[in-house]
Each structure stands twice: as structure tokens, then as C-alpha cells.
């Protein structure tokens, strides 16, 4: 049977402020256990939280970048539950008056554009970390009280691929704002997914399952695909989907029921009496707005318009802010109006080298000017072939030398000296009587073999185009 898929994503992003949400403890990653704790974040009696100004500013910045309406009046609430990673037995979060609502994010799949609604972006504090051992759990409260944003999408995502693109674009935007590392492995970005299916045309939503424990965007995609298939099988066989929380097991590529001992969630939210309300003025919003850089979507459109790139190419080159900046410097350094050769080198050869080093193209030791010099030598002056160009590029990246220097040192320049090539052509013709015969009797392909022989004689340095021309000319006289 055919089903329609309904997915909503809940993303938590840890902001890279210097200190925690409500106390002066450092947020540095990887410190000794319980070395970044104080009476406030440990929930000692008598301590009082005070909101970090940067937390609020970063949160407003993200909300605006996600096209949300920032609420003029916002407050914090207590979300009550017992768990050892939560020393106060409540999490300071936001409930009925969140920082912002009603935003959206655009995604693009195979040329099709879609707008996904964002229900809300609110502020809350992170919990601590548990390490489970035999019979005991160790608790580290360094992460407790770190500033988090919760970004909730509308249930408007219709496939695992759309979810994947939503996450990629969200990460890209937040990284442009420079307010979070968005590193899923380090836990600075976490994603839970709600998924349900319904018969096509049906209005009511199906029963949803909540998916947790995905450690990469790919894992989110895989877990959703698995879960959709599982729910379809349940419905096809006449069963009912049960509302539950499922954990993704990446090794087994399966979801498992969490079988929680706790009953239904009842967080008993109430206003946090230790924090006053916050009024965010239109002026303040205006100031923060001014500091929002050109975002990936706008930059993509501009790259398409100014540099004549396809949407796919523009998307790849604007995904990362630093890489986009680097690409733009390269485009500017290239005199021709048509920037496609530059885009090809950036996305092809240079990206391959950079990703083999686990880096972005902007992180390689290669100035835009040097790269453009190489591109001109290959594409325009045809001093070296594309293939030789790629190995020169690798050497440039490794040594920091210029293309000319490497071509000179290794004597790589293509030979375009006609008299030298004519001599080689004559030798080849003399030594390959059969192919010459073939060519003469109309087998056009034979010329390629002869060109290959000439290239070999020149140790790969003959200008292949010229070599072919000269061979053809000499063959006429045979």
C-alpha cells in the first residue's frame, strides 16, 4: 500500500558562549570531570541563576536567521523530572512564551524547492553526562547548564531525504552565524525525529514514533527510512502503530523500543521564579539583525547570478562560509567572465584533495591567486594537460610552491615545439606501419593509437592536440 510520510524534527544546538547559561562556569569541551561546576549549575540551595547576555543574543540571531518572529516578552519555565544528570531536578527551559515562533527554512532536492515551517526556537539549559559502568552510573556535571537552543520543525517533512537536507541547511545557517560548532560527534548538535505515516489522502495524522540516538545526519536518514518501512509493514498486516520512543542502533541498522520504566511524561511546567522576564526591544532586534552575515541561501542565489553557476554548484560552494569566501576570491581573481572552469577545479580536484585531508577547501595551504595561475596554465595557455595539472595541484597544496615553479622544476611543460613534434611523428609513423595502414584504409580510430605512441615518446609532455594535428598532416604525405 502507498503511504504518505509525516516527519517533524527537534534539534538541539549547543551555543559556543564562553560561559554557561546562568553561571560563570566555562563551557570548554573535554575538561576534567566536574571541574566546570559551581553552586548555581549544581543546584545548591540558595544559589541564583543570572542569564548570560551572549546566550540571549545568539538565540535571537539564530531565530532571526530562521525567519522566526522574536517575541517581545519572553520568560523561562521549570520543566520538572528526576534524572541523575539533572542536579536541580528541573531543567530551566521555555514553555508558553518561547523566544520565537513561526519561522521557516528552505530546502532544495533535485531542483524542487520546499519550505519547511519552524514552530519555535527556544532557550534552555543542557543536562550533565552519565557514564554507565557495572552496577553504577558516573555523573559529570560539566555540561550541566550549557546553553542550548531547541529548534522544532512543523511536521511538514515528507521523506528521509528532506529531513537530511533540512538538517544540512540548518547546520549551514547556524555555522554561518558562528554561534555553534554544530558537531554531532561532539554532541553540540543533536536531533530527535517524530515520524508517522498515513494512507494517501487521509486527513488525520497516523500514530507517531519518536526516534532518538542518531549520531549523524546519515543516521537520521537511515533511522527514518527503517522506521517508515517498519510502520508500513505493521499497517499492511492489519496492525496498529504504537506510540513509543525508539532508539536507533547504528550497528544493527534497526530501531529498538526504549521500554521506559517511567509512566507518561508529566513535566508540570511552571514559571521559573528565579529569573525575571525578558523584554526584547525592536531596537535590539534591529542591532542583532545588522550583524547577521549573508546567509547560504542568499549567497547561493548571488553566486548563480554573478558567476553564472548552476544551482547544484552554487549550493556546494556556499554550504560552508569559509569555503564560499575562498571560492569567491578565486572567482574574482579569474579574469574571464565565465567562471565555470574555476568552479570545476574547486569542486573537483581541490575538493578531492581537501576532503582526503578531512578539511574544507579554504583550509588548504593554497592562495586563490596560485590556484588561478594553475587554472590559467591548464585551461587557457595549455602549458600542461588536465591530468598533469591535477598532480601539480597536489604538489602545490603539499609544498606551498607556485604552479610555474613546480612545472619548471619537474620540466612538465607540454611540448608545443612543432619541429620537435614533427620528428617524433615521423618516428612513430615509421615504427607503426600497421596502424598507419589502418588509418589510411579509413579506420579513423587508428590515429588515437598513433597519438598515444607519440605521447609515450615525449614522456607524456607533448601537447596532445598539437600532436594529433601534426600526425594527421604527416600521414597525408605517407
Query: Per CB under 5 A, which region of 37-45, 54-62, 116-124, 377-385 contacts Zn ion?
Result: 37-45
State which of residues 5, 9, 15, 41 lies at the interface with Zn ion (CB under 5 A).
Answer: 41
**Residue 19: which of 191, 144, 174 has the closest Cα?**
144
Backbone angles phi, psi at 124, to 5 degrees: -160, 175
Alpha carbons within 13 angstroms on the beta-carbon side of residue 61 total 23
Kindly determine how many residues on this chain lie close enough to bind Zn ion according to the rule CB under 5 A: 5
**Residue 277: which of 94, 74, 71 has the closest Cα?**
74
Query: Which parts of this chain interact with other proteins (CB under 8 A)?
Result: 17-19, 23-26, 32-39, 42, 50-56, 75, 80, 82-84, 97, 130-141, 263, 266, 268, 271, 273, 275-279
Least Cβ distance, residue 28 to other proteins (angstroms) = 9
**Residue 9: which of 189, 241, 206 has the closest Cα?**
189
Question: Is-contact 138 101, C-beta < 8 A?
Answer: no
DSSP string, 133-148: ETTEEEEE-TTTT-EE
Q: Is 92 in the site for Zn ion (CB under 5 A)?
A: no
Query: Per CB under 5 A, which region of 18-26, 284-292, 297-305, 380-388 contacts Zn ion?
Result: 18-26
CA dist 210 to 194, 245, 256, 284, 379, Å?
5, 5, 11, 37, 53
Cβ proximity to other proteins: between 77 and 162 the closer is: 77
Q: Is 38 in the site for Zn ion (CB under 5 A)?
A: yes
Least Cβ distance, residue 19 to Zn ion (angstroms) = 8
Cβ proximity to Zn ion: between 38 and 413 the closer is: 38
Question: Is-contact 94 162, C-beta < 8 A?
Answer: no
> Which of the listed partners (Zn ion, other proteins, none) does 45 bind, with a CB threshold of 5 to 8 Å by partner kind?
none
Cβ proximity to other proteins: between 137 and 355 the closer is: 137
> Which of the listed partners (other proteins, Zn ion, none) does 130 bind, with a CB threshold of 5 to 8 Å by partner kind?
other proteins
State which of residues 6, 7, 25, 152 lies at the interface with Zn ion (CB under 5 A).
Answer: 25
Looking at residues 404 to 433 of the shown chain, list those that interact with Zn ion (rule: CB under 5 A).
Answer: none
Cβ proximity to other proteins: between 31 and 386 the closer is: 31
Contacts of 356 (CB under 8 A, 6+ apart): none
Backbone angles phi, psi at 475, to 5 degrees: -65, -25
DSSP E strand stretches across 141-244: 147-153, 189-199, 209-212
Least Cβ distance, residue 95 to other proteins (angstroms) = 10
Least Cβ distance, residue 43 to Zn ion (angstroms) = 10
- In 3-state terms, what secondary structure has residue 369? helix
Q: Regarding beta strands 245-249 and 254-257, do their DSSP bridges make them parallel or antiparallel, or are they unpaired? A: antiparallel
Cβ proximity to other proteins: between 109 and 130 the closer is: 130
Cβ proximity to other proteins: between 47 and 391 the closer is: 47
Cβ proximity to other proteins: between 33 and 325 the closer is: 33
* Residue ranges that bind Zn ion, judged by CB under 5 A: 23, 25, 38, 40-41
Amino acid at each position: 500500500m502507498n503511504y504518505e510520510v509525516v516527519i517533524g524534527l527537534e534539534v538541539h544546538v549547543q551555543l559556543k558562549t564562553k560561559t554557561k547559561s546562568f553561571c560563570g562556569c566555562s563551557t570548554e569541551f573535554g575538561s576534567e570531570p566536574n571541574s566546570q561546576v559551581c553552586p548555581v549549575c549544581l543546584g545548591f540551595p540558595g544559589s541564583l541563576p543570572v542569564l548570560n547576555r551572549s546566550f540571549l543574543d545568539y538565540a535571537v540571531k539564530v531565530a532571526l536567521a530562521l525567519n522566526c518572529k522574536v517575541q517581545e516578552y519572553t520568560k523561562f519555565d521549570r520543566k520538572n523530572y528526576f534524572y541523575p544528570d539533572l542536579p536541580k531536578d528541573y531543567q530551566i527551559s521555555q514553555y508558553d512564551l518561547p523566544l520565537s515562533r513561526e519561522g521557516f527554512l528552505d530546502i532544495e532536492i533535485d531542483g524542487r524547492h520546499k519550505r519547511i515551517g519552524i514552530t519555535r526556537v527556544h532557550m534552555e539549559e543542557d543536562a550533565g553526562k552519565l557514564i554507565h559502568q557495572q552496577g553504577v552510573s558516573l555523573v559529570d556535571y560539566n555540561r550541566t547548564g550549557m546553553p542550548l537552543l531547541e529548534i522544532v520543525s512543523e511536521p511538514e517533512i515528507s521523506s528521509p531525504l528532506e529531513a537530511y537536507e533540512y538538517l544540512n541547511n540548518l547546520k549551514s545557517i547556524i555555522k554561518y552565524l558562528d554561534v555553534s560548532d554544530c558537531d554531532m560527534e561532539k554532541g553540540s548538535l543533536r536531533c530527535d525525529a517524530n515520524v508517522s505515516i498515513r494512507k494517501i489522502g487521509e486527513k488525520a495524522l497516523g500514530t507517531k514514533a519518536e526516534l532518538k540516538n542518531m549520531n549523524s545526519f546519515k543516521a537520521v536518514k537511515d533511522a527514518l527510512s527503517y522506521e517508515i518501512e517498519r510502520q508500513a509493514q505493521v499497517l499492511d498486516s492489519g496492525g496498529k502503530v504504537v506510540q513509543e520512543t525508539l532508539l536507533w542502533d547504528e550497528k544493527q541498522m534497526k530501531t529498538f523500543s526504549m521500554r521506559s520504566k517511567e509512566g507518561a511524561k508529566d513535566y508540570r511546567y511552571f514559571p521559573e521564579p528565579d529569573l525575571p522576564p525578558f523584554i526584547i526591544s525592536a531596537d535590539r532586534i534591529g542591532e542583532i539583525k545588522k550583524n547577521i552575515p549573508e546567509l547560504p541561501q542568499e549567497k547561493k542565489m548571488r553566486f548563480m547570478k554573478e558567476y553564472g553557476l548552476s544551482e547544484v554548484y552554487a549550493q556546494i560552494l556556499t554550504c560552508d562560509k569559509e569555503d564560499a569566501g575562498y571560492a569567491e576570491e578565486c572567482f574574482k581573481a579569474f579574469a574571464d567572465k565565465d567562471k565555470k572552469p574555476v568552479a570545476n577545479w574547486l569542486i573537483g580536484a581541490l575538493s578531492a584533495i581537501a576532503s582526503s585531508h578531512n578539511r574544507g577547501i579554504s583550509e588548504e595551504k593554497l592562495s586563490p591567486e596560485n590556484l588561478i595561475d594553475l587554472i590559467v596554465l591548464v585551461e587557457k595557455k595549455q602549458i600542461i594537460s588536465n591530468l598533469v595539472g591535477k598532480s601539480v595541484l597536489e604538489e602545490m597544496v603539499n609544498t606551498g610552491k607556485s604552479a610555474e615553479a613546480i612545472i619548471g622544476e619537474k620540466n612538465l611543460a607540454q611540448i608545443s615545439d612543432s619541429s620537435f613534434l614533427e620528428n617524433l611523428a615521423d618516428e612513430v609513423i615509421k615504427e607503426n606501419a600497421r596502424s598507419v595502414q589502418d588509418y589510411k584504409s579509413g579506420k579513423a580510430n587508428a590515429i588515437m593509437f598513433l597519438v598515444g605512441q607519440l605521447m609515450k615518446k615525449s614522456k607524456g609532455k607533448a601537447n596532445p592536440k598539437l600532436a594529433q594535428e601534426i600526425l594527421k598532416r604527416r600521414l597525408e604525405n605517407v
